[in-house]
Every structure is written in C-alpha cells, then in structure tokens.
Amino acid sequence: MREAVRAMEMIGVLETRHGRASTVRIPDASVLGEFFSLALAQQPAIIEDIVEVRIALERQALRLACTRATPDDLRNLERALGEIEATIDDVLRGGYADLHFHTQLVASAHSTALSTVYGTITHLLERSHVERRRRIADSSKARDYLVDHHRKIYEAVRTGDASMADDLILSHFAIGAAWKMQEAAPAD
C-alpha cells in the first residue's frame, strides 16, 4: 500500500502531509509531459517521430481554429507572427518564436484535449523547432519562405478557410522535410 501511495504522489494525483489525511489532486498534465520528454528523448530518431505526431495534432487544431478562433486568438497569432519576423535571423529565439506561433494555433482550436496532448510534447517540440531553424539559417530564400508561409497560415485562420489552412500546414511540413533531406544529401 505504501508503494502505491508513493507512486500516486510522484505522478501528482495524491498529496500527503504528515498527520493529515491524504488529498486527491487533479492530475497535472505537465508531469506527463516531463515523463514523455524523458522517456522519448532516449529514442534515437525521436524528432522525426515527434514531427509526425505534431502534424496530426496541428492539422486537427488548425481545422478547428478556422471555425473557433476568437478576436483575441487572432491578435495572439498576429503577435506570434511578428515574433517570427523579428527573430528570423536568430536560430534559437526564432525556433522558440516558431513554436510559440504553432502553440497559439493549437490554443485557437479551443480544445482542451488537443492543447493538453500538445503541451505534453512541448519540450521535444522546442528541440524540433530550433533544429529546423538551424537548417535554414544560411538561406535567405528559406527564411523569407518561412515568414511568408506562417503569414499565409495566419490568414487562412483569420478568414476561416480550413481547406486552405490544411493545404498550407501539409506543405509547411513537406518543406521542412525537404530541407532536412537536402542537408542529409551527400555533397558532390
């Protein structure tokens, strides 16, 4: 019984204090995120796997955002787009700005489940965004594309065009994959 209580304390669903009754707590999804980050970070090709999960989550979130985004959501997305533009030449800050934009997209879906699942992989997504930014750091054409493409995604959400948004997010990920393949290609 003691081990079960300790396990529940560790995952944040039970709070115990000496001399008092134990209290059941609402589970905190961040604990799950920390677990996923630790467990998955040990996998050799985790970034590619996380990108696949990200595609699934963001496609659905984007479709929902096209019908559910509020004026506040649109302002948040517009500010996040401004961050991408302002940090386009900074790999680290730009990677975080890119993640912030995509996190705002997910938040604009107003789906607690999507936001929670997305939040559990945020630590791994940070790494993915920074690595993707590092790949395009030397290409002004790629950086211009990145800004323009995020702007188009924002416009699709603003106008409620779910079909366009879905096409854009798919090409967004396809371009990222193409940049990675170019990087991995042997030099002639």
Q: Is position 179 within any domain?
A: no
Q: Is position 30 within any domain?
A: no
The overall longest dimension of the chain from CA atoms, in Å, is 72
Q: Is position 51 within any domain?
A: yes
pLDDT tens digits for range 57-113: 999 999 999 999 999 999 999 999 999 999 999 999 999 999 999 999 999 999 999
Q: Is position 21 within any domain?
A: no
Tell whether the model's pLDDT for residue 188 goes beyond 60.
Answer: no
Tell whether the model's pLDDT for residue 8 goes beyond 70.
Answer: no
**CA–CA separation, 160 vs 133, rounded Å?**
28
Residue of 128, 122, 95, 125 whose CA lies nearest to 29: 122
Tell whether the model's pLDDT for residue 54 goes beyond 80.
Answer: yes
Q: Is position 93 within any domain?
A: yes
Q: Which domain holds residue 147?
A: 43-172
State the CATH number of the domain containing residue 72: 1.20.120.530
* pLDDT given for residue 140 in this prediction: 87
Mention every residue, 6+ apart, whose C-beta is less than 8 A from residue 30: 119, 120
Q: Is position 22 within any domain?
A: no
* pLDDT given for residue 36 in this prediction: 63
Contact call for residues 82 and 69 (beta carbons, < 8 A) = no
Residue of 166, 148, 178 whose CA lies nearest to 88: 148
* pLDDT given for residue 102 in this prediction: 96
- Of 7-21, 25-39, 129-143, the one with minimum mean pLDDT is 25-39
* Arithmetic mean of pLDDT, 132-160: 92
Contact call for residues 72 and 92 (beta carbons, < 8 A) = no
Q: Is position 36 within any domain?
A: no
Q: Is position 47 within any domain?
A: yes
How many folded domains does the chain comprise? 1
pTM score: 0.78
